[in-house]
């Protein structure tokens, strides 16, 4: 059996699969010890570790190490004259009018930043040779200071990493206990601050992430696990545990990506060329654009937010996150404004209706008060909700606003919906996709409950609720491929490029990917190689990543490359300039290897058979008018057969999620068991 385990801020979700059979669990997270959470979720699913062949895992250990600043004692090594480049950063002040702003706080203090006498120029020619004795002295110094990890980032190492290679080799040989990262091992892209920061992040989280992974491995193997452990990485693919331990920075967004991978596959299956994946859990809501069955990938982001966060220049599934989840707390400002989030009640104490001591009103409380949630069927009946506590929490907050309980609850949901709608729109319009031409694929415990309201807000005409929406992220892990992304800076004018030079750059990337395939024991025969280039009009700075036919695309079909770039520029920014010079900045390679289990890969497209039918219920549910609840059909999803059609208002309940269908919407169960709602 293969299992995927996704540890979120509120819930831990598990999906197991073997021979067409699915096992599920959804349990409250245990922030103190994630390995205990893993054990508990296996237990709840009735699974023994010894019967598992494969374990896929998304973890927040890397990102939490950074956010909590609990990483290793790390040193930073760079070129003479540039000791402070990491601390200086870009000098910007995103909080424009704040005269008490803070810059990003470096993870390495200045007395652990070191210079080496050496210098490359932009063409990768050594202007000053590296002095090996100086490196050896530095190593002794680091050891004497008790440094645990070191990040090496030398100027222009993306063009020629020879000096970095030498420094890393000397330090590793002399100090095997030191966690050494050289920037070219992580990325070969220019911009020294972002590359330095990415390298420092890897070193900083390295020892702790390695410990976590070793503990997980030991925990599983102690109980008889003999299979492979795969870790989700920010780019939406998986990697071996060993690779994760060497490059933990690439699992920074390990948690939220898997669901979007699953949603992308579903979009492909349904023939939706543009779709928006929408995932709403207990703590946050996330949205990503899915084009032709794949989630958009962004080259880098800021950990801890743009204004004061640490830049990480690695591919990450382009997910927009807003602090709106089922647990988001509603509050009142002194001027009488009503707001929701970003603070979440989390798993402890959780929403008021969990009856675990929470007294602040949350989105989940509001949904319960509006009749949208069934107090007796939450988590398959495993966790009954307390409507009285929910009502009291909302009334206490809303009384000074002069709103009725029902109006306040409806207001809380509407504000959360509006915030999420902006995020959902941001992922689509940012890429030039009009939401009116897209479908939404909604999942996460709370996603199906809010999806139709969001879709109405931004004119998305169709909403799809997949099978197992409440465990969809864990399912996505089982559907994801092994993946390796790489990049190499290569600046030149398209049309004047030496095709041989471009070919060489791609060859380097291919060789590095093959090495990684071998190291992870992945079958290279089944690997798919996707080539791309970052292009821009000469004079622009921001480039667009354009897929190209192969390593020889520039030699063979430069016209096709140009045409594709103009087209993408027009799509994304609303204008293009066919007569202008195009510049290349980077070449990229993505290697993927799909899971070697066609039946599991095809799970989302497998025929669905209804089981466990239950009688339809009726209850009053608030839709648009807070004071006029509608008598509404309550349907039990597992018992709805393919082809079943119905019109809203309706509530569709299932063990780990609830779908709300508004009046006038048409819903249908597809042959594969997904719900398609037409607005």
Give me the least distance between CB of 149 and other proteins, in Å please. 10
According to CB under 8 A, which residues from 239 to 258 bind other proteins?
Answer: none
* C-beta closer to other proteins: residue 155 or 373: 155
The DSSP code sequence of 91-121 is ---SSTT-TT--PPPPSS-GGGEEEES-EE-
* C-beta closer to other proteins: residue 83 or 343: 83
Task: Tell me if the bond preceding 649 is cis, omega within 30° of 0.
Answer: yes
Give me the least distance between CB of 547 and other proteins, in Å please. 19
Q: Taking each helix axis from N to C terminus, what angle separates 192-222 and 34-44, rounded to the nearest 10 degrees?
A: 50
According to CB under 8 A, which residues from 175 to 204 bind other proteins?
Answer: 190-194, 204
DSSP state of 641: P
Q: Helix (H) and strand (E) counts for the chain?
A: 18, 33
Give me the least distance between CB of 171 and other proteins, in Å please. 18
Among 155, 280, 329, 502, contact with other proteins (rule: CB under 8 A): 155
According to CB under 8 A, which residues from 402 to 441 bind other proteins?
Answer: 411, 414-415, 418-419, 422, 425-426, 429-430
* C-beta closer to other proteins: residue 106 or 358: 106
Give me the least distance between CB of 118 and other proteins, in Å please. 14
According to CB under 8 A, which residues from 440 to 499 bind other proteins?
Answer: 457, 459, 491
* C-beta closer to other proteins: residue 101 or 381: 101
Secondary structure (3-state) at 606: coil
Rounded-to-integer distance, Cα 222 and Cα 226, Å = 10
* C-beta closer to other proteins: residue 158 or 212: 158
Give me the least distance between CB of 10 and other proteins, in Å please. 25
36, two tokens = 């205990």
According to CB under 8 A, which residues from 606 to 665 bind other proteins?
Answer: none
Give me the least distance between CB of 275 and other proteins, in Å please. 20
According to CB under 8 A, which residues from 12 to 51 bind other proteins?
Answer: none
* C-beta closer to other proteins: residue 122 or 530: 122
Rounded-to-integer distance, Cα 209 and Cα 246, Å = 9
Among 269, 338, 497, 676, contact with other proteins (rule: CB under 8 A): 338
* C-beta closer to other proteins: residue 113 or 589: 113
Give me the least distance between CB of 574 and other proteins, in Å please. 4
Q: Does 343 bind other proteins (CB under 8 A)?
A: no
Q: Does 73 bind other proteins (CB under 8 A)?
A: yes
- Among residues 40, 38, 2, 34, which one has the least CA distance to residue 21? 2
The DSSP code sequence of 200-236 is HHHHHHHHHHHHHHHHHHHHHHHTT--SEEEEE-TTS
Q: Does 84 bind other proteins (CB under 8 A)?
A: yes
394, two tokens = 């909302």
Give me the least distance between CB of 105 and other proteins, in Å please. 6
Nearest-5° Cα angle at 485, 484 to 488:
140
Among 110, 117, 137, 614, contact with other proteins (rule: CB under 8 A): 110
460, two tokens = 């998305």
Rg of the chain over Cα atoms, rounded to whole angstroms, equals 26
Return the residue matching tokens 């202008």. 580
- Among residues 670, 645, 675, which one has the least CA distance to residue 658? 675
* C-beta closer to other proteins: residue 311 or 470: 311
Nearest-5° Cα angle at 294, 288 to 295:
25
Residue spans of alpha helices (H) in 85-191: 85-88, 132-145, 162-174, 183-186
* C-beta closer to other proteins: residue 425 or 467: 425
Among 33, 48, 53, 88, contact with other proteins (rule: CB under 8 A): 88
Q: Does 667 bind other proteins (CB under 8 A)?
A: no
342, two tokens = 């970003």
The answer to whether the CB of 115 falls within 8 A of the CB of 81 is: yes
Q: Does 223 bind other proteins (CB under 8 A)?
A: no
Q: Does 90 bind other proteins (CB under 8 A)?
A: yes
Give me the least distance between CB of 549 and other proteins, in Å please. 25
For other proteins (CB under 8 A), the number of binding residues is 80
Among 87, 143, 217, 321, contact with other proteins (rule: CB under 8 A): 87
Among 85, 239, 427, 509, contact with other proteins (rule: CB under 8 A): 85
According to CB under 8 A, which residues from 524 to 583 bind other proteins?
Answer: 537-542, 569, 572-575, 577, 580
Q: Does 594 bind other proteins (CB under 8 A)?
A: no
Among 74, 247, 284, 471, contact with other proteins (rule: CB under 8 A): 74
Rounded-to-integer distance, Cα 314 and Cα 140, Å = 31
| 560 alpha carbon, distance to own chain's centre | 32
Give me the least distance between CB of 665 and other proteins, in Å please. 18
Give me the least distance between CB of 51 and other proteins, in Å please. 42
Q: Does 126 bind other proteins (CB under 8 A)?
A: no
The answer to whether the CB of 640 falls within 8 A of the CB of 650 is: no
Rounded-to-integer distance, Cα 117 and Cα 140, Å = 17
Q: Does 400 bind other proteins (CB under 8 A)?
A: no
Q: Does 91 bind other proteins (CB under 8 A)?
A: yes
According to CB under 8 A, which residues from 278 to 337 bind other proteins?
Answer: 335-337
Rounded-to-integer distance, Cα 148 and Cα 176, Å = 11
End-to-end CA distance of the chain: 39
DSSP state of 521: T
Task: Specify which residues 657 forms β-bridges with.
Answer: 654
Among 36, 48, 101, 501, contact with other proteins (rule: CB under 8 A): 101
Residues 467, 469, 471, 474, CA torsion sign: positive
Give me the least distance between CB of 116 and other proteins, in Å please. 14
Q: Does 105 bind other proteins (CB under 8 A)?
A: yes
Among 46, 48, 53, 69, contact with other proteins (rule: CB under 8 A): 69
* C-beta closer to other proteins: residue 568 or 604: 568
Secondary structure (3-state) at 671: coil
Give me the least distance between CB of 455 and other proteins, in Å please. 13
Q: Does 158 bind other proteins (CB under 8 A)?
A: yes
192, two tokens = 């020294």
Between the CA of residue 108 and those of 182, 237, 264, what are the distances in Å? 15, 30, 38
303, two tokens = 């950990």
């Amino acid at each position: 059996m293969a299992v995927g385990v996704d540890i979120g801020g509120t819930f831990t979700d598990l999906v197991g699969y073997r021979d067409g059979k699915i096992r599920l669990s959804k349990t409250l997270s245990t922030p103190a010890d994630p390995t205990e959470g893993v054990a508990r979720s296996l237990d709840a699913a009735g699974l023994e570790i010894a019967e598992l062949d494969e374990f896929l895992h998304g973890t927040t250990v890397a990102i939490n190490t950074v956010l909590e600043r609990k990483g290793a004692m790390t040193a930073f090594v760079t070129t003479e004259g540039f000791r402070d480049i990491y601390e200086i950063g870009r000098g910007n002040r995103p909080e424009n009018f704040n005269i008490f702003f803070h810059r990003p706080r470096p993870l390495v203090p200045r007395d652990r930043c070191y210079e080496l006498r050496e210098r490359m120029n932009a063409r990768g020619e050594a202007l000053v040779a590296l002095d090996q004795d100086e490196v050896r002295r530095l190593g002794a110094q680091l050891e004497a200071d008790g440094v645990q990890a070191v990040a090496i980032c030398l100027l222009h190492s993306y063009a020629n990493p020879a000096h970095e290679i030498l420094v890393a080799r000397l330090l590793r040989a002399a100090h095997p206990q030191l966690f050494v990262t050289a920037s070219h091992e992580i990325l070969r892209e220019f911009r020294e601050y972002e590359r330095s920061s990415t390298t420092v992040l890897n070193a900083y989280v390295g020892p702790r992430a390695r410990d976590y992974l070793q503990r997980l491995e030991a925990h599983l193997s102690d109980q008889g696990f003999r299979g492979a452990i795969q870790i989700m990485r920010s780019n939406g693919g998986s990697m071996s545990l060993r690779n994760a331990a060497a490059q933990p920075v690439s699992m920074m967004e390990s948690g939220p990506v898997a669901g979007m991978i699953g949603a992308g596959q579903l979009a492909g299956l349904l023939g939706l060329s543009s779709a928006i994946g929408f995932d709403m859990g207990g703590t946050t809501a996330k949205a990503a654009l899915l084009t032709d069955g794949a989630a958009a990938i962004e080259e880098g982001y800021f950990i801890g937010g743009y204004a004061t966060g640490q830049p990480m220049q690695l591919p990450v599934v382009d997910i927009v996150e807003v602090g709106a989840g089922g647990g988001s707390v509603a509050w009142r400002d002194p001027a009488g404004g009503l707001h929701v989030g970003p603070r979440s009640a989390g798993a402890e104490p959780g929403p008021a209706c969990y009856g675990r001591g929470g007294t602040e009103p949350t989105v989940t409380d509001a949904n319960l008060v509006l009749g949208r949630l069934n107090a007796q069927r939450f988590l398959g009946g495993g966790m009954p909700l307390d409507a009285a506590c929910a009502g009291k929490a909302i009334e206490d907050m809303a009384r000074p606003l002069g709103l009725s309980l029902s109006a306040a609850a409806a207001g809380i949901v509407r504000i959360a919906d509006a915030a999420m709608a902006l995020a959902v729109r941001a992922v689509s319009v940012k890429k030039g996709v009009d939401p009116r031409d897209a479908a939404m694929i909604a999942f996460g415990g709370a996603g199906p409950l809010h999806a139709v309201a969001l879709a109405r807000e931004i004119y998305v005409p169709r909403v799809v609720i997949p099978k197992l929406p409440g465990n969809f992220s864990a399912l996505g892990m089982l559907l994801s491929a092994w993946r390796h992304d790489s990049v190499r800076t290569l600046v030149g004018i398209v049309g004047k490029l030496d095709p041989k030079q471009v070919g060489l750059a791609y060859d380097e990337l291919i060789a590095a990917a093959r090495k990684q395939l071998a190291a992870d024991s992945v079958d290279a025969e089944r690997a798919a190689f996707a080539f791309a280039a970052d292009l821009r009009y000469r004079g622009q700075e921001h480039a667009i990543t354009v897929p190209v036919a192969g390593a020889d695309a520039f030699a063979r079909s430069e016209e096709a490359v140009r045409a594709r770039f103009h087209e993408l520029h027009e799509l994304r920014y609303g204008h293009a300039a066919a007569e202008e010079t195009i510049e290349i900045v980077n070449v990229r390679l993505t290697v993927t290897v799909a899971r070697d289990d066609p039946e599991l890969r095809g799970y989302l497209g497998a025929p669905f058979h209804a089981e466990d039918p239950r009688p339809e219920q009726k209850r009053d549910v608030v839709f648009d008018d807070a004071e006029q609840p509608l008598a509404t059909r309550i349907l039990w999803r597992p018992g709805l057969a393919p082809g079943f059609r119905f019109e809203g208002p309706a509530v569709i309940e299932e063990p780990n999620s609830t779908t709300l269908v508004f009046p006038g919407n048409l819903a249908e169960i597809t042959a594969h068991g997904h719900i398609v709602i037409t607005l």
